[in-house]
Structure 1
Amino acid sequence: MIHREKPLGVILAGGQSRRMGGQDKFLLPLGTAPMIGHIIERVRPQVRRLYLNVNRSVPEIRALGLPLLKDGEGSGQGPLAGLEAALRLAWREGDHVVATFACDVPFLPKNYIRRLLEEMHRRQTRLALPSSGDRLHPVCGLWHRDLLTDLQAYRAAGGRKMLDWVARHDFSRVVFSGTPDPFLNVNTRTDLDQAARWIKPC
């Protein structure tokens, strides 16, 4: 049975941002706040406690005021490493479900968790993922902590692709729509300029 209480939340920001020249893209200004400020403002009310999965600590990151969660062994290997760290954290803190958020999606829906939890509960799956524009967004999702063992086995065997691992499991898919796309992904300066046209003051 999937629990309905607010889950643990983790923003996955452990990547290397190659298309942004290696900068911490989530710290780039978007309107009157860094991009991650808009994400925090949207998701913090939806979770029990919010962590930032990042593999370094600089003053700008510490100033966000979020507890930091490192990948651990094998850091810098993409979102699966961050998800593994998040599932380990869920076991340590006694949470059954953990919610993850990409660090570059500033328009996340404010009903994101509620809708995914409802579908996860209805279908009795161990994970739920959002989609928009016919595209699945696997870095954002709800994950039952029991997935940890299989994720560890997949990574130990050399697996690195999020969608390939997700395909090993039955999952709930929840469709979101809107303008702008609630899962608009900011990967480049062009994307950042596009997001700036839609952003509201944080």
Structure 2
Amino acid sequence: MIAPLGLILMGGQATRMGGGDKGLLPLGQTTILGHVLDRLAPQTDGVALNANGDPARLAHLHLPVLPDTIPDHAGPLAGILAGLDWAAAQGATHIVTAAADTPFLPCDLVPQLLLAGGDAGFALAASPGGRQPTFGLWPVSLRADLRQALNDGLRKIVQFTAARGAGTARFPDDAAFFNVNTPQDHAAAQAML
């Protein structure tokens, strides 16, 4: 398999940070999202952002911005569906997803997901602290099934993936999946740099 396309999920509402795009907060010499891109982009064949609202706020990144196609902030699965639709239009067979607020994601995320995905090419990440469901390898062939599940009201990634036999890529370090949800987390991420 050639490298999958990458999708950074930033469609959340960031309520614990007071709203806005957590990924655009400064972190070191760049932003949280800048760190995510630095780690994910080299592992993929191109990257898009799943973000709702005015895409002009992200124009400086020169990346495709994909809004949810399922209404009412249906969660990360809606973003994944938008990414799968985009990938299908590009002729790609798979996407890898990552959260926009995880600046230390594994530099071997894609190879490990590919190994865990087996023939189906379908896997989620896990660390000692538990599943990391926003980090996954998703075959484009799941689009119709995912769209139906969302239209039926399903919102939990793990419920969708468990029922369809997704593999698990196990990573040894919880810190790789540290996510910035609060001002305290932002300070901790600054210290972790």
TM score, norm. by length of structure 2: 0.94
SS, match of residue 175 in structure 2: coil
| Cα offsets for 1:28-77 (capped at 9, x unmatched) | 11112111000001111111111011112365421122121111241522
1:169 maps to 164
The answer for unaligned runs of 5 or more in structure 1 is: none
Instruction: Provide runs of 4+ in structure 1 moved above 6 Å.
Output: none
Are the counterparts in 2 of residues 126 and 147 from structure 1 also a CA contact under 8 Å? Answer: no
Percent of aligned positions that are identical: 37
2:82 maps to 85
For residues 1-202 of structure 1, the aligned pairs below 5 Å read: 4-57=1-54, 60-74=57-71, 76-121=73-118, 124-178=119-173, 181-199=175-193
C-alpha RMSD of matched pairs (Å): 1.5
Comparing 76-85 with 66-75, greater Cα deviation is found at 66-75
Comparing 74-83 with 34-43, greater Cα deviation is found at 74-83
The answer for unaligned runs of 5 or more in structure 2 is: none
User: Structure 2 CA distance, aligned partners of 1:81 and 1:139?
Assistant: 12
Aligned length: 193
TM score, norm. by length of structure 1: 0.90
Are the counterparts in 2 of residues 105 and 185 from structure 1 also a CA contact under 8 Å? Answer: yes
Are the counterparts in 2 of residues 55 and 75 from structure 1 also a CA contact under 8 Å? Answer: no
Are the counterparts in 2 of residues 26 and 34 from structure 1 also a CA contact under 8 Å? Answer: yes
